[in-house]
Chains A and B, each alone.
Chain A
Amino acid sequence: MQNQQIAVRCRGIAKEFGEGESRTQVLRGIDLDVRLGQMSFLVGPSGCGKTTLLSVIAGLLERTDGELHVLGADVSRLSDREKVVFRRENIGFMFQQFNLLPALSAAENVSVPLLAAKFPREAALSRACALLGALGLSERYKALPSELSGGQQQRVALARALIHDPRLLVCDEPTSSLDAETGHAVMDLLASTAVRPDRAVLVVTHDSRVFDFADTTAYMNDGRIVNMDERNNGRRRDPHEDENNSPGAFTGNVHIRGRVGS
C-alpha cells in the first residue's frame, strides 16, 4: 500500500561527470521517496546537486549508479526512445527560465506537449485555452511570451506542464526569476492546481520564501541528502499563516523516506 503511493523511489543514486582526474561526483548515494499527492521540495545551496538529481529522476540524465523507479517503471531498463515517450506521457516540466518558445503564443506554447504526442492542433489549442483560462490567463492566450510578465510566463509554463495530465510534475526553481509576491502567487497556483492524489510534484528550489508550500522537504548538501522534513503528516501548512516562516523553523514527523548523508 505504501509502495503504491510512491511516485519516485531512489536508492543509492550516484552521478559523476567527467573522467579521470577531471571526474566530479555530484550525487553520492541518494535515497529518496517522492509520494503521490504531495508537493516535495528538494532544497539546498547552489551546486549541491539538487538539479542533477531532478534531471536524473526526470530521465534527462543517466545516473552513474543506484536504482531508480519512477511511477513504477525501472527507468534504467528503458531505451532512449522509450524514455522520451515515458517523459512525454508521464512527466510535466517547469523550468527556472520558463523556456517558452518565443515565437509561439501562450496557447500554442501550452499545446506543445500535446502536439508532441500527435494530438490534432485545433483540439490541443482548445484544451490549452481552457487550461489557461483556469489559470487566470483567458485574456492572454494569444500573447507572445515577450508580452507577458514573469508571473504570467510561469503560469503559461505551469499550464504547459499540466496540459497532458502528467503523474509527475518536476519544477526547477520555479520562483527564482520572480519577485516575492509573484513567486508566492505561482506557488499558490501550483499547490492548488497541480497537487492531486494521483500526481506527485517535485520542486527544486533554494528560494526560502516558498518553503512553506512543501509537504515534504529533502535538504541536500554536497551531493547528499542531509536532512528530511515532513510536516503535518505530509499535509501542507497554509503558507500565508505565518509570513515569518523560515527553513530553520521546520518541525514535524519525517515520513519521507531518505538517507541522511554521511
Chain B
Amino acid sequence: MNYVAMKMLLGDRAKYLGLVFAVGFSAMLMAHQASIFWGVMRRTTSQIVDVKDASIWVMDPRVKYVDEVWPLPDSDLYRVRGVEGVEWAVRFFRGTARAKTEDGGFQAFILVGFDDSTLAGAPRRMTLGSLADLRNPDAVAIDEDGYRFLWPGEPFRLGKTLEMNDRRAAIVGVVKSSAPFQPTPVVYTRFSQAIRFVGRERNMVSFILANPRPGESPDSICRRITERTGLAAMTRDEFISKTIRYYIRHTGIPVNFGITVALAFIVGAVVAGQTFYIFTIENLKQFGALKAIGVTNSRITGMILLQALVVGLMGFAVGMGLTAAFFESTKNISHLRGFYLMWEVMAGTGASVLTIIVLSSLLSVRRVYVLEPAYVFRGGN
C-alpha cells in the first residue's frame, strides 16, 4: 500500500508541489533566521576567532566578553609566564582608536596589537602584503572590509596612510579577517605601536595570550593559571562561548531572532500543517473507499505518515537548498558575509519540520480513524 500512498501523493502534481513548497518555505524561514542569528553571535567573537596562535586567553576576572577590556599590568604577563606548564605567553592589545584619514576626515577603528617579537596574535590570512612587513616602523594592516569602507571602489593597494594620535600609520597589508560584529574597520599592528596610537596609560595589556607546553592540556593550564595568579584563564572555545553567552543574556538579539524563528515555526506549522491536513481531507473519500475495501486503520495511518514524511523530506531539502543558495550568493557581500548554514541549524530545522508534519498528519489521521467507511455509500441512507 506504500506504492498506492506514493501514487496518491504524487498523482496531483500541483497539490504535491504546493505541499513541498509550503514545507520548504517554512524550513527556509526557520533555517535562514536561525543561521543569521548564530552568524551574528559568531561575529561577536571574530576578534577571538582570528587569533590562531594561542589556545589560552588570560584576562581580568571582571571581563565578561571580548569587547569589555579591563587592562592588566605588565607584571601579570610575567606571572603567567611563571606558571608551570605554560610554554609561552604574550601581550595582546584590543581597543579603539580614532584615525584621521587622507581626506581629512575621522574614522573610529578597532585596534589590535600583537606581540612585537613573535607576532603571536597577528592575523594569518593576508590578502595583500606580508606579515613580516608589520615589523616595519609605523606599519599597520587593515581588514578588507575596513579598506573598502575607507576607500570604496578602489582596488586594494599598499602604501596608503592614516594618522592616529598624531602618528602616521602606513598600510602594509590587507587582512582577510572574520566578519566583525560592528562595521568598524579593524587595524592590526604590533603591541608597542598600538599603545603609541592610543596613548600610553598605566595598564595597557588587554589580554595575555598563552600556549601550554606539549603534553599539557589547555584546560588544566587554565585552572593552574587562575589558581596561581587570580586571573581568569580560559581556552579559546570557552572565551568564544562566554562572549556569545554575554550577548545572548544582555542584548535583545536572541529575543528578536527567537521571535522570528518561533514565528517561522508557527507559520510553518500552520501553512504546512493546514496544507497537508487539507490534502488528506480532500482524499477522505478515497481513504473511505480503502477502508470499505478492507484496508485497516493502521495501514492507512502508515500511508498518511509515509506521505507526510516524503513531503517533509522534500520540503526540508528544498528549504535547506534555498537557504544554502542564499548564503552562498551573499558570502562575498561584506555586510552579509560570515553567515552560513550550520549543521546544527539543519538538524534543528529538520526536527521542527518533522514535528510539524507529524502533528498535521496525526490530525489528519484522526479524521480518517473516525471516518465511517459507509461514508463512501453517499454518506447515509
Q: Which residues of chain A have a CB within 8 Å of any CB of chain B?
A: 17, 26, 47-52, 54-55, 58, 60-61, 81, 84-85, 87-89, 91, 93, 95-97, 99, 101-104, 108, 112-113, 115-117, 121, 160, 172-173
Contacts and interface: CB of A to CB of B under 8 A. Distances in A.
Contacts of B4: 101, 104, 108, 112, 115
Contacts of A101: 4, 7-8, 11, 286, 289
Given A61-B372, A102-B11, A51 B378 contact: yes
Given A95-B289, A96-B378, 6 more contacts: A17-B380, A61-B372, A84-B295, A96-B377, A102-B286, A116-B293
Contacts of B288: 99
A93 B293 contact: yes
Interface string B257-299: 0000000000000000000000000000110111111111101
Given A103-B12, A121-B3, A54 B294 contact: no
Top 9 nearest A-B pairs (CB, nearest first) are A103-B11, A88-B294, A55-B374, A60-B374, A99-B289, A52-B381, A87-B294, A60-B373, A116-B295
Interface string B98-138: 00000000000000000000000000000000000000000
B3 A88 contact: no
Given A87-B293, A101-B8, A60 B377 contact: yes
A14 to B, nearest CB: 13
B1 interface: yes
Nearest to A95: B376
A58 B377 CA distance: 11
Contacts of B374: 52, 55, 60-61
Nearest to B8: A103
A61 B297 CA distance: 15
A109 B291 CA distance: 14
Interface string B351-381: 0000000000000000000001110111011
B377 A54 contact: yes
B10 interface: yes
A116 B294 contact: yes
B377 A95 contact: yes
Contacts of B285: 97, 99
Nearest to B296: A84
B16 to A, nearest CB: 10
Contacts of B373: 60
Interface residues of B, number: 30
A53 B368 CA distance: 23
A145 to B, nearest CB: 10
Contacts of B3: 115, 121
Nearest to B287: A101
B381 A103 contact: no
Nearest to A93: B292
Interface string B1-19: 1011001111110000000
Interface string B137-159: 00000000000000000000000
Contact of B10 (A58, A60, A103): A103
A43 to B, nearest CB: 14
B123 to A, nearest CB: 60
15 contacts: A55-B377, A60-B372, A81-B296, A88-B295, A91-B294, A93-B376, A96-B378, A97-B285, A97-B378, A101-B7, A103-B8, A103-B10, A103-B12, A108-B7, A116-B290
Contacts of A87: 292-294
Interface string B168-211: 00000000000000000000000000000000000000000000
A93 to B, nearest CB: 5
Contacts of B297: 84
A113 B293 contact: yes
B226 to A, nearest CB: 67
Contacts of B376: 93, 95, 99
A160 B376 CA distance: 15
Nearest to B381: A52
B294 A104 contact: no
A102 B3 CA distance: 14
Contacts of A49: 381
B380 A60 contact: no
B378 A112 contact: no
A150 B23 CA distance: 37
Given A103-B11, A103-B12, A88 B377 contact: no
